[in-house]
Amino acid sequence: MIFNRTYRFRTNLSIAEIKDRLLNQHVKVHNMDFEVSEKQQMIKVIPHAENIEGIKTLPITHIEMQGLGDGHTKIKLMAKPRKIDVGGPYMIVIFCAFCVIGAGLFYLLNRTDSLMPSLVMIGIALVIFILFWFRMESGYFDYVRKIKKFIHGRLSEAA
């Protein structure tokens, strides 16, 4: 949910021309190969992750097309993490949320005591979340941005 990204734009290409330009293409992002293919009447950009050695959150991008009748086509790109990858990021977000909730409860239950334990818990949650978000920006979200740039570039090239 919080990792899903949706982009919309229009092109003056027909659906058939879009498929000709995109299908069976490969895009390389951070030495990772992504293949554009058609499955279940939808174009998908799927990572080839067989040889991954590190832990990475990789996107699967769906491309929906809708002909507008005036020679234009409306494109909708939807990127979401692979189901196998999404558990770790959600665990970190939930941990940070519980840390903040715990700090709030600790403060409410111990108002006469020091404020320091609550602030430390919130600080730890913020540091973890900020580090996590920077990692996601340089990894998962960068994959999404570069795939979007590749698709947009392929569809806006001169015919």
pLDDT digit string, tens, across residues 2-35: 889 999 988 888 888 888 888 888 888 888 888 8
Q: Is the pLDDT of residue 157 over 80?
A: no
Residue 42 or 132, more confident: 132
Residue 3 and residue 16: Cα distance in Å, rounded? 30
- Cα 132–46–82 angle (5° rounding)? 40
Q: How far is CA 135 from the centre of its chain?
A: 12
> Shortest CA distance to 17 belongs to which of 67, 60, 61, 62?
67
Q: Are strands 73-81 and 32-39 parallel, antiparallel or unpaired?
A: unpaired
Paired tokens of 79: 């990127």
The 10s digit of each residue's pLDDT in 81-123 is 988 888 889 999 999 999 999 999 999 988 877 888 899 999 9
CA-nearest of 95, 65, 127, 93 to 3 is: 93
Reduced to 3 states, what is the DSSP secondary structure of residue 84?
coil
**Choice among 68-77, 87-96, 144-153 with the minimum mean pLDDT:** 68-77
Report the pLDDT value the prediction gives residue 70, as an integer from 0 to 100.
Answer: 80
Residue whose structure tokens are 């991008």? 61
Task: Look at phi and psi of residue 6 and say left if phi exceeds 0, alpha if psi is from -120 to 50, else beta.
Answer: beta
